[in-house]
Amino acid sequence: MDSLISTFSNLVDQEVTIRGWVQHVRSSGSIVFLQVRDGSGFVQAVASKALVDEASWTAATSATMESSVEVTGLVAKHPKQPGVYELQVTRILLLQRAEEYPLGKKEHGPDFLLDNRHLWLRAPSQWAVQRVRDCIIRATYEWFHQHDYVKIDSPILTPSACEGTTELFEIDYFGERSAYLSQSGQLYLEAAIASVGRCFDFGPVFRAEKSKTRRHLIEFWMMDAEAAFVDHEQNMKIQEQLIEHIVSKVLTECRAELTILERDVKPLENVKAPFYRLTHAEAISKLHELGSDIGDMDDLGADDETTLTKLYDKPLFIEKYPTAVKAFYMKRDPQDETRVLNSDLLAPEGYGEISGGSQREDNYDKLLERIREHNLPVEAFRWYLDLRKYGSVTHSGFGYGLERIVAWICGLHHVRETIPFPRLINRLEP
């Protein structure tokens, strides 16, 4: 019977066949121990010379690291470790004998691992990261669909910027004009809410950012969400609930993965709404108390975020940033026109910004003024301005960076490990 390792707890004493790759092989005379991975999990297959035919014994003894194999055997409980299963081999077939495998025999530096990303993905830690990533994606779709959101796909090729023109990837569009790779689908979702009310997108976005930090990728996956009749305050509540749902789903479904990653789950178990909140002004005074010389109306840098989040044991919202450091579409705070109704959500343990959102400017004249102030081409934003002419409503939204969330939940230092094939300033391969 063809089976997956992940179902072995239901198959004790039954004969099964698995197909996969040999992670390690160790032999002690008449017994060969093969650590086999089939995608769903890992199992030790034990082949005894006395119990298998000659062809199987030859296959077992000649299997190398990362050889592909088909193994048939009896599922057995591990003699010492509860919850762990073994396979007592009755037959083994070598599908392809791998050449000398370049990874895993010693510690490797990040550059070597990234050069070999196509192989590194097979490591248990990377298996675990990709499975957590998948769980976060599923949790996100699940939460939105439980809350009446519709998935709307934003375009990737766009005629203008969403998040500032300095980080735009420009491409030649049939020799006639320029097109830009999307930085965020937000503006398109703002159009779609007048059709479906609440919506989200999820896809790759691009930032030609010359930053070499542990939080920046050139291509990353963003989830944008937008909702009509939602104000700044409700917008933060939505983010709280979504993030709480994501973390709790990972905690229930990815225990084994978090164990492989040696992730301390205590701080994750604490991720329950309500999260902490500071205004930007309060955050600046806290930083001053801690000895920083940041200006009162400065944007927060990555180091400032790290300092702040280390003070808190749950995610932290920082709201109402100075107008000058934020995007053109954010609505100004009616109580203080020098600030906008926005929030950045910072993950604890020093991780920093994972999600950014705001209430949007819904007044035609004010929006036009902002577009001009930001020196953006008004023509390219005609369609966006139209949305303020035909039934404009209060609305808000936010976007999260999937890789930042994966890094935080998995407890990884750098986002480059969270995406299957990272794109960095100095890396386009493999």
Q: Which is nearer to Mg ion, 356 or 397 (CB)?
A: 356
Q: Which is nearer to ligand 4AD, 57 or 400 (CB)?
A: 400
In the complex, minimum distance from the CB of residue 211 to Mg ion, in angstroms, rounded to a whole number: 13
Query: Helix (H, G, I), strand (E, B), or coil: what is residue 230?
Result: coil
* Partner whose binding site includes residue 222, from Mg ion, ligand 4AD, none (CB under 5 to 8 Å by kind): ligand 4AD
Strands 42-48 and 85-96: parallel
Q: Which is nearer to ligand 4AD, 63 or 327 (CB)?
A: 327
* Partner whose binding site includes residue 322, from Mg ion, ligand 4AD, none (CB under 5 to 8 Å by kind): none
Q: How many CA atoms lie within 13 A of 259 on its CB side?
A: 5
Q: Report how far apart, in Å, the C-alpha atoms of 331 and of each of 175, 279, 322, 421 are.
A: 37, 16, 11, 36
In the complex, minimum distance from the CB of residue 203 to Mg ion, in angstroms, rounded to a whole number: 17
Q: Which is nearer to Mg ion, 37 or 215 (CB)?
A: 215
Amino acid making up residue 232: H
The answer to whether 354 touches 305, Cβ cutoff 8 Å, is no
The answer to whether 316 touches 229, Cβ cutoff 8 Å, is no
Query: Helix (H, G, I), strand (E, B), or coil: what is residue 88?
Result: strand
In the complex, minimum distance from the CB of residue 312 to ligand 4AD, in angstroms, rounded to a whole number: 17
Query: Helix (H, G, I), strand (E, B), or coil: what is residue 92?
Result: strand
In the complex, minimum distance from the CB of residue 207 to Mg ion, in angstroms, rounded to a whole number: 11
Query: How many whole angstroms separate alpha carbon 208 and alpha carbon 428?
Result: 13
Q: Which stretch binds Mg ion (CB under 5 A): 14-22, 224-232, 242-250, 348-356?
A: 348-356
* Partner whose binding site includes residue 404, from Mg ion, ligand 4AD, none (CB under 5 to 8 Å by kind): ligand 4AD
* Partner whose binding site includes residue 220, from Mg ion, ligand 4AD, none (CB under 5 to 8 Å by kind): ligand 4AD
Residue whose C-beta lies closest to ligand 4AD: 401
In the complex, minimum distance from the CB of residue 395 to ligand 4AD, in angstroms, rounded to a whole number: 11
In the complex, minimum distance from the CB of residue 50 to ligand 4AD, in angstroms, rounded to a whole number: 55
Query: Helix (H, G, I), strand (E, B), or coil: what is residue 403?
Result: helix
Strand partners, 7: none
Q: What is the distance, to the nearest Å, from the Cα of residue 52 to the centroid of all Cα atoms in its chain?
A: 45
- Our CA angle for 388, 394, 400, nearest 5°, is 100
Query: How many whole angstroms separate alpha carbon 12 and alpha carbon 31?
Result: 21
Residue 356 binds Mg ion (CB under 5 A): yes
Q: Which is nearer to ligand 4AD, 73 or 357 (CB)?
A: 357
In the complex, minimum distance from the CB of residue 323 to Mg ion, in angstroms, rounded to a whole number: 15
Q: Which is nearer to ligand 4AD, 91 or 214 (CB)?
A: 214
Q: Which stretch binds Mg ion (CB under 5 A): 47-55, 142-150, 274-282, 351-359?
A: 351-359
In the complex, minimum distance from the CB of residue 281 to Mg ion, in angstroms, rounded to a whole number: 18
Write down the number of H helices and E strands in the chain: 13, 18
Residue 401 binds Mg ion (CB under 5 A): no
What residues line the site for ligand 4AD (CB under 6 A)? 162-163, 183-184, 186, 207, 209, 216-217, 220, 222, 224, 353-357, 397-401, 403-404, 415
Q: Which is nearer to ligand 4AD, 140 or 355 (CB)?
A: 355
Tokens of 152: 């709307």
Burial class of 77 by CB neighbour count within 10 A (0 to 12, 13 to 18, 19+)? middle
Q: Which is nearer to Mg ion, 41 or 356 (CB)?
A: 356
Q: What is the distance, to the nearest Å, from the Cα of residue 10 to the centroid of all Cα atoms in its chain?
A: 32
The answer to whether 6 touches 40, Cβ cutoff 8 Å, is yes
Q: Is the torsion defined by CA of 161, 167, 169, 172 positive or negative?
A: positive
Q: List interacting residues with Mg ion (CB under 5 A).
A: 356
